[in-house]
Amino acid sequence: MTITIYGIKSCSTMKKAFTKLDDLNIDYTFHDYKKQGIDKDSVQRWVDLLGLDKVLNKRGTTWRKLTDEQKQAADADVNTAIGLLLENTSMIKRPIVEGLHDEQPILLCGFDADEFDKAFA
């Protein structure tokens, strides 16, 4: 089983996800955007599979600090939005959990305890 959880170490939502994975006895690797960055292929894959609305966190302070022009450009063009996500990893909804569990692909975005239970049952 290879599960990677992507996010930011100090995020309270991430702490809930770590605890849940530990409670479920799931081995995982943590990828910290702040320290390790993120590659375009990963962000593109997440947006393709989950949709931009799911991956882009518009509720956080980083989104709110963007100019109106940047927000409009991101809303109008997915490639522009992906570029902003790469530059501002805090705008990627946390956590992203990706990998294989019992040979089944897993891709979760955001923390929902019930979704974690279902995915790792």
Looking up residue 78, the CATH number of its domain turns out to be 3.40.30.10
- Determine the structural domain holding residue 14 and report its residue range: 2-119
Span 29-47, pLDDT tens digits: 999 998 999 999 999 999 9
Average pLDDT over residues 10-38: 94
CA distance 120 to 21: 9
CA distance 57 to 106: 20
Which residues form the catalytic set?
Answer: 11
pLDDT in the model for residue 34: 87
Per-residue confidence band for 27, with pLDDT thresholds at 50, 70 and 90: very high
Whole-structure pTM value: 0.92
- The structural domain count of the chain equals 1
- How would DSSP label each residue in 79-120? HHHHHHHHH-GGGB-S-EEEEEETTEEEEEES--HHHHHHHT
Q: Supply the mean pLDDT for the chain.
A: 94
The percent of residues in the chain predicted with pLDDT above 90, rounded, is 91
Query: Residue 51: CA atoms inside 13 Å, Cβ hemisphere, count?
Result: 3
pLDDT in the model for residue 121: 83
Span 61-93, pLDDT tens digits: 999 999 999 999 999 999 999 999 999 999 999
pLDDT(107) > 80: yes
The percent of residues in the chain predicted with pLDDT above 70, rounded, is 99
